[in-house]
Amino acid sequence: MSDTPPRAPGKDQNNPVNTLTLAQKHDASMIVSIIKRQIERTGSFKDVLTDYAHAYARNERFDTQKADTFIRAVFKEEYGQTMNEMLTQQREREQNLPKSAHDDALLRARSVISQIEQDATLPLYRAVDWEATTMSADYSISESAVKRLMNEVFEEVEGHSFYQRGKQAEEARYARQAEPDQPEREEEPEQGHQRSPSR
């Protein structure tokens, strides 16, 4: 018995998605969600698509090229646009950011430095990642673009690298934490007021 699900009458058989089994479609859906996240995070998808196409084809009866075709088709079906279209629109937004985005990036960069100086455990990379993730969602641009923008506006206004300043704040905090606690010294009685031992 075939594991291919029944197809609705008149369904477009030229669409590669309609040739997949339910299990294959499920696997492809998980892959496209990862690729979408990669576009949101880095503004690229080709390397991760190649990697997952190889992995997808490994246990199936189709080659890597066919796997690539299936993944692209499922992506378009689930998100309403191709990977290239999504990436192109993202880059257009990045190139046409309003001034408010530059102001926001500067505030976020300064916030990162403040967090590093005040929080005893927060590492620089996590503080940067949080700000990049939230701002990228606000402006529908990649997290990598946010990180570049934070560095650019911070250097323009403050006169030095955002990441260097963050590292300096982090290292200064580690240095403070490494300093041994100085125990309070007990006051020694003055020599002139020492009592002679009783006999």
Span 167-189, mean pLDDT?
Answer: 73
Is pLDDT above 70 for 4? Answer: no
Whole-angstrom distance, CA of residue 94 vs CA of residue 39 = 13
Is pLDDT above 70 for 190? Answer: no
Contacts of 121 (CB under 8 A, 6+ apart): none
123, HSE (Cβ side, Cα atoms, 13 Å) = 3
Span 44-60, mean pLDDT?
Answer: 95
Give residue limits of the domains in the chain. Answer: 16-92, 97-177
Q: Which long-range contacts (CB under 8 A, 24 or more apart) does 172-180 make?
A: 172/117, 173/116, 173/117, 173/120, 177/120
Give 77-103 pLDDT, tens digit per residue.
999 999 999 999 999 999 999 999 999
Confidence of residue 2 (pLDDT cuts 50, 70, 90): very low
Span 172-181, mean pLDDT?
Answer: 78
Is pLDDT above 60 for 199? Answer: no
Would you state the pLDDT for residue 183?
56
Show the beta-strand stretches assigned E in 91-193: none
Confidence of residue 192 (pLDDT cuts 50, 70, 90): low
Tokens of 185: 């010294």
